[in-house]
Amino acid sequence: MQLDETLEFIKAYDPDGMEKLKRLLDRKSFLLEKNVYGETFTERQFNLVFDPLLRSGYDRARILKMLAEKNDTVPGLAEKLSLDQSRTFDYIKDLLKRNLVEIAGFEERHPVYKKR
């Protein structure tokens, strides 16, 4: 997926998350020239910071898309999205904190989440 397509996907499901990424991306040229300490970033250094943030934003948007279609548990989401359960749980905690998902019930010992 191209950067523009990825950002559009994130924007569709997590507009606030997209805004944070967009602000960083908008500062890219400034950071490549100098940062607040007068140091310059290389393209590689910028990508080392930006790429994991983009991946996390994309994964959270995928979770929101799945939850919009059907309520699910962390293990269920992790399996369907081919993500690690601990990482999926971290994303769910973040989405809960941002009031984008909520607990809809329980399946055995696992909370079932739904998109707000």
Helix (H) or strand (E) holding 114, with range, is strand 110-115
CATH of the domain at 60: 1.10.10.10
Q: Tell me the average pLDDT across 29-58.
A: 85
- In the chain, the number of structural domains is 1
User: What is the reported pTM?
Assistant: 0.86
Evaluate if residue 24 carries a pLDDT over 90.
Answer: no
Q: Tell me the average pLDDT across 25-35.
A: 81
Q: Which of 24-38, 49-63, 93-107 has the lowest mean pLDDT?
A: 24-38
Measured in whole angstroms, the distance separating CA 59 from the mean position of its chain's CA atoms is 5
> Which amino acid would we find at residue 86?
S
Q: Tell me the average pLDDT across 36-64.
A: 89
Instruction: Tell me the percentage of the chain whose pLDDT exceeds 90.
Output: 61
Q: What DSSP line would sit under 42-99, residue for residue?
A: -HHHHHHHHHHHHHHHHHHHHHHHHHHHS-B-HHHHHHHHT--HHHHHHHHHHHHHTT
| Angle at CA of residue 46, ends 40 and 49, nearest 5° | 130
Q: Which of 45-54, 59-68, 84-93 has the lowest mean pLDDT?
A: 45-54
Mean pLDDT across the chain: 90
Q: Which of 42-46, 60-64, 74-78, 112-116 has the lowest mean pLDDT?
A: 42-46
Structure letter (DSSP) for residue 38:
S
Evaluate if residue 31 carries a pLDDT over 90.
Answer: no
| Enclosing domain of residue 99 | 3-115
Measured in whole angstroms, the distance separating CA 20 from the mean position of its chain's CA atoms is 10
For 67, list phi and psi in degrees, rounded to 5.
-70, -25
